[in-house]
Amino acid sequence: MQLKYKQYICGLATLILMFAYSTRIFAQKETFLPFLDEFSSYVGTPDTNLWEGENCFVNHSYQFLPPSVGVVTLDVVDKYGKLYNGASIYTFNADTLSSVNIRLDSLRMPIQKKLSPSDSVYLSFFIQPGGGAGNMWERIGSGPSSKDSIVLEFFDASNSSWNHVWSMKGRSCQSIYDEDSSYFSYVMIPITEDKYFNKDFKFRFLTYSTLDNNPSYEYVSNCDQWNIDYVYINYNRNFEDNHFRDIAFVNSAPSFLRKYQSMPYNQYREDEMAEDVNIKIANLYNEGLSSHYEYFVEDESNNQIHYYDGGFENIFPYSTTRDYQTSDNHAKPPIAFSFPLMSTPTAYIITHVVREGAGNDDVHGNDTIKFYQNFDNYFAYDDGTAENGFGVEPIKGSNLAVGYFLNQRDTLYAIDIYFNNTYKNANIKPFYICLWDATTDSIPNEKKYQTEKLTPQIDSLNQFTRYILEEPQILEEGEFFVSLEVKNADYLNIGFDQNNDASQYTFAKVSNYWEQSFNKGAVMIRPYFGYKSVSLADISQENISFYPNPASSFISINGKQKPTVSIYDFTGRLLMSEKGKQNINVSSLDNGIYILRINNTTHKLVISR
C-alpha cells in the first residue's frame, strides 16, 4: 500500500511538472532569427506568433506611402475603439507592442550556432508619425503632437527589467520627408550587450500621448497615431544594410468601380466601372530590377472572369529615385471589362500580383494584394476603416449630407453609420436621419423624410450600427441625399475614411445654405436598400398588444395611444401603414402569416377566413 502511494505521488508530481512546462511554453511563445514582419499579408491583431499587443492594429489604411503595403498602427484606443481609461490632456500611456521571446542565444537555420555580440545582430524598422503630409484637409490619420513620443525598449532577463534604447518625439510626417525625401524614417539599432544574448530577449514599443484640447478633448477619438513597418532582426548586418531585395505593392488594392467601394447589386450598371486604377509598386533593393505584374478577377466560386497581363517592366530603386514604378502597364492598368449584371448579392475577388522577373524576391507577403468587390444591398464610398473623424457642426439643426444615385427605383429601409468612440461617451448626443432630394446641380434640395430622435450606438472599432427606418422609403431613380441632423448644439464624431475621396458628394448645412466639403475622404454613412428578410425567430410573441390573432377583417391595438402600425410580408415588403389608428382594416390581405410592427415592437400576425 505504501509503495502504491509513493508511485501515485511521483506520478502526480510528474504530471504537475509536465503541465507547468507545457503551460510555460504556451504562455511564453518564442521565435528564432531571422525575425521579420512587414505587416502586409494580414490585418487586425498583430501576429501572435511574433507579437503581444492586441490593442495595436495591423492595417493597409493608416500609412502614407510606406515601404510596402501594410503597417502596424499604435494609437490611443484599444481593440474596441475605446479611448484608454487614463486618456486626458496630460501625458498617459497608450498602445504598447511587445515581441515574443526571441532566441538570441542560438540559431537554428541555416545551421545551428551560438550567437554573441560579435555576430553583428541588428534590429531595424521604418517609423512614421501618423497624419500624412500636404494640405491639412488631404491628410490620412491623426499625427502625434510635440508632447507625444514613442519609445523602444529591450528586455534584460537577468534582472527582469526593460532598458530604453531609442525614442522619437511627436513630429510631423512632412518633417521626416524634408530630411530624407521619404515619409518613413529608417531606424537601425545594433544589439551589442552580452545581457541580451539569451533565450528570453524581447523588445517593445511604447507610446505616450496627450489629448488635444481644441476645440474640446471630450470629442477627441482615435488620434496620436504611429505607423511601424518592416521590423527585422538578423545577424551579419551593418549600418549600410538598409535595402531589401523586394519588389512590393505600396498601397492597398482599389475598387474597380468609378465612385463606390460597394453598391447594391440591382443598381449596378456597366458605366459604373472605372477606366483604370492607380497601383503603386516600389523596388526596395539598391539596384534596378525587372518585374512582372498581373491581375485577375474571380467570382465567389473561383471562376476567373477576367485576366490582365502587364508584362515585364524595369523598375529603379526607390532609395535612389524616391519614385515608384512609372510604366502605365504596371502603375495604371486598364479595366477593359465589366462585371456581369446580377440578380442576387454577389462578390468578386480582384487579385493583383507583382514578382521580380528573375524570381529572387526575398519577401513575398507584399507581392499580392486583394480587393473584395461586394455587390450587396448598400452604397459605400468608404472602405470600412476610419482613419479619422468627421464632425457635424455643433449648431442646433445643422446637417451633414452625403449624396448617392439610384439607377432604378428602390426601397430604402435602413442607414448604417459608424460613430467613433469618444472620451467619456461625449459622442452620445441626439440626432435625426433625414432624406433629401437633389437639385439639378447635385445639391440637397427639399427634405422628404425625418426619423424620430436617435442616439449613436457604438459597438467596436469600425463596426457599423444599423438604424432601421420606421417606414421603408420608396425612392425614385436619380440622386438623393442622406443627412444627419443634430438636435442640439452638439458635436457628432462620425467615422471618416481618408483613403477614398467622396468630398464632391458631401455637403454641410449650418444656416440656410449647403456647402460642399473640402475635406478629402468619405463619411462612413451607408444607405441600405431592398427588403429585409425576417424569420419567425425574429418575431416577439406579444399577442396581448393586439387582437384578434388570427384575424379576418380588423385588428384592434390594446393600450397604444396614437400607434404607428406597419404590416409586411416575409420578404420585408411593406403592405400597409397606419398612424394614429387603433382599429386597422386588414380585409385586403390574403390568408397567411405577416409581420406586424406596432411602434418599435414586432409580432406575428395570422390572417385566416
Q: What is the pLDDT of residues 442-495, one digit of tens each?
A: 999 999 999 999 988 887 888 899 898 888 898 999 999 999 999 888 788 899
The whole-number pLDDT of residue 517 equals 92
Residue 248 in domain: no
Backbone angles phi, psi at 285, to 5 degrees: -90, 175
The whole-number pLDDT of residue 9 equals 40
Cα gap 100→533, rounded to integer Å: 46
Last residue of a domain, one of 376, 398, 424: 376
Ranges of the chain whose pLDDT falls below 70: 1-28, 213-219, 531-544, 559-561, 570-572, 600
CATH number assigned to the domain comprising residue 440: 2.60.120
Pairing of strands 263-264, 368-376: parallel
Q: How many domains are there within the chain? A: 5
Grid cell locating 345: 448579392
The whole-number pLDDT of residue 86 equals 86
Residue 505 in domain: yes
Q: In what order do the strands lie in the sheet with 263-264?
A: 263-264, 368-376, 346-356, 289-298, 304-315
Residue 243 in domain: no
Based on the fold, state whether residues 265 and 338 are members of the same structural domain.
yes
Based on the fold, state whether residues 184 and 221 are members of the same structural domain.
yes
The whole-number pLDDT of residue 214 equals 58
The whole-number pLDDT of residue 481 equals 98
Cα gap 250→134, rounded to integer Å: 18
Last residue of a domain, one of 376, 409, 433: 376
String of DSSP letters for 414-475: EEEE-BPP-GGGTT---EEEEEEEE-TTS-EEEEEEEPSPB-----STT--EEEEEEEEEEE
Residue 89 in domain: yes
Based on the fold, state whether residues 127 and 58 are members of the same structural domain.
yes
Based on the fold, state whether residues 230 and 117 are members of the same structural domain.
yes
CATH number assigned to the domain comprising residue 51: 2.60.120.260
Q: What is the pLDDT of residues 175-213, one digit of tens each?
A: 999 998 999 999 999 999 999 999 999 999 999 999 876
Based on the fold, state whether residues 270 and 164 are members of the same structural domain.
no
Based on the fold, state whether residues 205 and 263 are members of the same structural domain.
no
CATH number assigned to the domain comprising residue 573: 2.60.40.10
The whole-number pLDDT of residue 230 equals 96
Cα gap 352→456, rounded to integer Å: 38
Based on the fold, state whether residues 394 and 486 are members of the same structural domain.
yes
Based on the fold, state whether residues 43 and 8 are members of the same structural domain.
no
Based on the fold, state whether residues 77 and 200 are members of the same structural domain.
yes
Long-range contacts of 14-20 (CB under 8 A, 24+ apart): none
Residue 190 in domain: yes
Residue 431 in domain: yes
Cα gap 528→538, rounded to integer Å: 19
Residue 443 in domain: yes
Based on the fold, state whether residues 337 and 206 are members of the same structural domain.
no
Q: Which residues of 175-186 are buried (b: 16+ CB within 10 A; e: fewer)?
A: ebbeeeebbbbb
Last residue of a domain, one of 329, 346, 376: 376
- What phi-psi label fits residue 520: left (phi over 0), alpha (psi between -120 and 50 degrees) or beta? beta
Grid cell locating 456: 449613436
**Is the Cβ–Cβ distance between 38 and 70 less than 8 Å?**
yes
* Strand, helix or coil for residue 308: strand
pTM: 0.82
Residue 272 in domain: yes
> Considering just the CA atoms, what is the radius of gyration of the chain in Å?
29
The whole-number pLDDT of residue 233 equals 97
The whole-number pLDDT of residue 218 equals 59
Show the domain range for 331. Answer: 256-376
Based on the fold, state whether residues 110 and 227 are members of the same structural domain.
yes
The whole-number pLDDT of residue 597 equals 84
Q: Which residues of 69-85 are buried (b: 16+ CB within 10 A; e: fewer)?
A: bbbbbbbbbbeebbbbe
Query: What are 494's strand-pairing partners?
Result: 390, 419
Based on the fold, state whether residues 206 and 278 are members of the same structural domain.
no
